[in-house]
Structure 1
Amino acid sequence: MCFFMLRASSKIYCLVSFISVLILLWAFYLYSQDSVQNRIGLMCNDNTAAAMKTHTYVVEVKRCSNKDSWSVGNLLMPTGLTYSQPNTQRGRTDVNCVTNWNVPLVWEGTFDPLVIDAIYKKTDPRVGVMIFAVGKYTRFLKGFLETSEKYFLTGFRVTYYIFTDSEKDIPAVPLGEGRNITVLPVPAARRWQEVVFGRMKWATITIDKQIRNETDYLFLMDVDSLFYHRFGAESFSRLSAVLHRGYYKKTERVDFPYERRPESRAYIPFGEGDYYYTAAVLGGYLEDMYNLVRYCYEQSEEDASNNIEAVWQEESHLNKYLLYNKPTKVLSPEYLWSDYDRVPADIKVVRISQLKKNYKEVRPNGGH
């Protein structure tokens, strides 16, 4: 009897021990899985951080936090629109219409105005135009605004952000539906270089402080210009830059007027470069324009702290930025010509042109 009781107790003990071992093994398995997952997570985080640290750019870009930023999205068009059939065999053959990074280089004859405007009007973007009218440059406001209302993005919502040191000189110009003016006071300048550098500074501050929720697409333009022909939605892209009229044909990159002094943050070595872009007209999505203007502002400030000024001020920093952060659309010199220059055969249309003026008379430091 005792023998059988001992055998039964032994079996129960063994069974309990076996179950206990199984429970311990299961607990150890769960613990090890958590540890592995945690280690994997840490490794992923470490690898991501390492990748972010090693994935550096020649030009540092700081993003603005606007997760709901506007974009064109799908290229939707209203039904029933009548337009000419596109052709794969005909077009401009006298000029190049695409860059070597495969984005459009826009000329008259490379798009259908009816189609492109219809597509973008469907997205109904809020367009901002920043212009600086400081000192005697207020005299150019009336002509700029009047011709802009006739030719610039007609039928779109447009706000002109006018930076000026003389609010009383803002002209009363009739504006179309959905178009308005916002006046932003800035200090007077002693040197014209302060005005051009100030554009990037005040553009950065204004985007940060005021217009982030007012504008989807932003242009920077020079006020001493007149529009002569339609300037439409074909100019839209994430970042659109305009070829400088003086260097777009046969200029070798070694002869571009880039900043060549290594001491400047705008420095571009000989042997590098795509095009030379003007700073007098540029545009893009608000976030992309913010990145550009903030970069130019910060780099010029760093130059100033080192007692150096880039050869062409903010235009030098702009060209450095666009060399390493390619524009998503390049606009031909149709989008900024000059009344000083003869119009060549490849410029079929002058859309906007800078006016002739006496720089010594209009600039605060006599043009120097």
Structure 2
Amino acid sequence: MVRLFLGCFFRRTDVNTVTNWNVPLVWEGTFDPALIDDMYKKMDPRVAVVVFAVGKYTRFLKNFLDSGEKHFLIDFRVTYYIFTDNEKDVPKIELGKGRNITIITVPSAMRWQDVVLGRMKWATIIIDKQIRDEADYLFMMDVDSVFHNRFGAESLSQLSAVLHRGYYKNTDRDRFPYERRPESKAYIPAGEGDYYYTAAVWGGYMEDMYRLVRYCYEQSEEDAKNKIEAVWQEESHLNRYLLYNKPTKVLSPEYLWSDYDQVPSDIKVVRISQLVKNYAEVRPNGGN
């Protein structure tokens, strides 16, 4: 395993660049892009990107893939695994050398929450059956996003999590939107927590990601048996897992911003951003 302390040559004084368990918190200006890419390229890793494009969300595929080919792990071997119920709507994209698209057919869903929870089920199944033999690293990403700038090897680690843009400046953990109901398997007691992580981008070693994805699926299934649904579905389970299984690298909100929000001064570069959209129009059952 390669462990790189990204802040050893570059420093930012306006943000924290190390977590309290002493792993890198990655920001622009804390790493040498050419150096870190070169170090990982020598290992020639295979990277899988899993995205779900169900129902009307196929409309976001072209911009996601086109922008990914400009900015995401350029000159690395990458396969986009597109889980969709509309294979005919997957666009034809010009891909770089060593980069591929694999289409996985999944059922349609009646509720957007079922899409969110269902992707953990289908990702668990397909990782186990196929992807784990075809990649060394895995990223889970939301398809309604566009890459704007470099998203490189500085993002790779055993388990990389991204700070949620809405809570990264919050120092009061009791204000994080964790699942607070003890009845849920995603429960995090008051007074506990490190950060609040987004479920729109996360990645890591294949086996570590498989364990995490399977955990989110199995815990969601347990909740369903008990007739409860975590407040933020998979994101709630993800945050509980990462509280007790610390990430080996934390990525700043540069690695998932949103077009809904203004960019503050500490965000020097937006690497990928979620699009503004009409949720009632694109989500199953009108977003309910």
TM-score range, shorter chain: over 0.9
C-alpha distance in 2, partners of 1:226/1:263? Answer: 37
Partner of 1:135: 55
C-alpha distance in 2, partners of 1:365/1:311? Answer: 19
Report the alpha carbon displacement of residue 367 of structure 1 after superposing the two structures with TM: 1.6
Report the alpha carbon displacement of residue 250 of structure 1 after superposing the two structures with TM: 2.6
Matches of residues 19-168 of structure 1 in structure 2 within 5 Å? 71-72=1-2, 91-168=11-88
SS at match of 1:327: coil
Contact 1:165–1:186 at 8 Å: present in 2 too? Answer: yes
The structure 1 residue matched to 2:278, chosen from 349, 352, 358, is 358
Query: Which stretches in structure 1 are left out of the alignment for 5+ residues?
Result: 1-70, 76-85
2:157 matches 1:237: yes
Query: Which stretches in structure 2 are left out of the alignment for 5+ residues?
Result: none
2:244 matches 1:324: yes
SS at match of 1:314: helix
Report the alpha carbon displacement of residue 213 of structure 1 after superposing the two structures with TM: 1.1
| Higher RCO, Cα 8 Å, sep 6+ | 2
Report the alpha carbon displacement of residue 272 of structure 1 after superposing the two structures with TM: 0.2
Report the alpha carbon displacement of residue 251 of structure 1 after superposing the two structures with TM: 4.4
C-alpha distance in 2, partners of 1:119/1:342? Answer: 34
Amino acid at match of 1:143: N
The structure 2 residue matched to 1:298, chosen from 186, 193, 218, is 218
Partner of 1:267: 187
SS at match of 1:123: coil
Report the alpha carbon displacement of residue 207 of structure 1 after superposing the two structures with TM: 1.2
SS at match of 1:330: strand
The structure 2 residue matched to 1:181, chosen from 101, 106, 111, is 101
Report the alpha carbon displacement of residue 135 of structure 1 after superposing the two structures with TM: 0.2
TM-score normalized with structure 2 length: 0.97
SS at match of 1:146: helix
Amino acid at match of 1:294: R
Partner of 1:311: 231
Deviations 1:300-345 (A, max 9, x none): 0000000000000000000000000000000000000000000000
Partner of 1:344: 264
Partner of 1:333: 253
Alignment: residue pair count: 286
Larger Rg: 1
Amino acid at match of 1:318: L
Amino acid at match of 1:172: K
TM-score normalized with structure 1 length: 0.76
C-alpha distance in 1, partners of 2:165/2:71? Answer: 21
Partner of 1:56: none
C-alpha distance in 1, partners of 2:132/2:68? Answer: 23
Q: 1:103 to 1:166 in 2, by over 3 A?
A: same
SS at match of 1:141: helix
Matches of residues 180-199 of structure 1 in structure 2 within 5 Å? 180-199=100-119
Partner of 2:174: 254
Comparing 358-367 with 336-345, which one deviates more in the overlay? Answer: 358-367
Deviations 1:231-268 (A, max 9, x none): 00000000000000000003410000000000000000
**Percent of matched pairs sharing the same residue:** 78
User: How large is the Cα RMSD of the aligned pairs?
Assistant: 1.2
Higher strand share: 2
